[in-house]
Amino acid sequence: MKKYSEKEIQFLKNNYANRGAKYCAEKLNRGLRSIRSKANRLKFKVLPGAAFNNKIWTYNANGVKMKTCPNCNTSKILECFGKDKSRYDELNVYCKICVVALSKISRQNNIKAVLKWEAEYRANNKELIKKQQTDYKKNHPDKLKATKRKWKMANRHKSREYKRKRRALKYSLNETYTTKQEQLTRLAFNNCCAKCSSTNKLHIDHHLSLSSGHPLTLQNAVLLCSSCNTSKGTKHPSDFYTPKELSFINNILNSII
């Protein structure tokens, strides 16, 4: 039997565990029995799945190692795969894009079981979840700000609703004014300021102020432009509107169901 050179032994060391005996035999032009015998003497072991590595690993024109996702059947760089330490290559079987897509499908198909598990997990791991959230906020402040800003841009109505609820809680008031009710208010005032009839920068105003103990409701919501809203502040309606304007507003508020 031809003696193994140092170069061949080094090749076995680098490739036998992950690529398997067949791959090494082809590259070194030796028999399978010879390769396995030499590997056993050197105590090299094949990792689970190594026999399939030739189907999984590829190399692009620049010699960069690629992995094929079996779901989309696309070869991608290793950074496109999530970590999975339980696997022989410590990478997820599927690429990150497919993992997200498959997770959504699985969640939809098992929504009741998923929601039940999530509720039980939250109930049993409150302190752990709280710590994880605190650590994430501390370690990723810029990412968190960007995510919040993006959400607010895409959900302006919801953002205003949450902001109003937070303000009401400061006065120990339970405010339940919703986005749908805001739309009713805007339609009732014909998308115009109740004071000056402007259509620019319209805000929902507390007719009777929040600070005086009046939460926002359909009967206490008036549409004002930014300028008129700032001018009104926490004033009582009779101190800000003319009798004619106040009568007009009260008629609209009484007509909203």
**pLDDT digit string (tens) for 243-253?**
999 999 999 99
Q: Does 75 have pLDDT greater than 80? A: yes
Higher pLDDT, 57 or 77: 77
pLDDT range class, residue 198, cuts 50, 70, 90: very high
The answer to whether 75 and 50 are in contact (CB under 8 A) is no
Average pLDDT over residues 5-27: 81
Global confidence as pTM: 0.45
Output the six-digit token pair for 167. 């303000």
200 residue type, one letter: N
Half-sphere exposure of 168 (CA within 13 A, CB side): 16
Cα first-last separation, the chain = 95
pLDDT tens digit sequence for 145-154: 998 888 888 8
Q: What is the mean pLDDT of the chain?
A: 86
Predicted pLDDT of residue 159: 78
Predicted pLDDT of residue 20: 76
Average pLDDT over residues 185-211: 92
Higher pLDDT, 57 or 4: 4
Beta bridge partners of 102: none
pLDDT tens digit sequence for 90-107: 888 899 999 999 999 999
Average pLDDT over residues 29-47: 81
Average pLDDT over residues 43-64: 65
Q: Does 109 have pLDDT greater than 80? A: yes
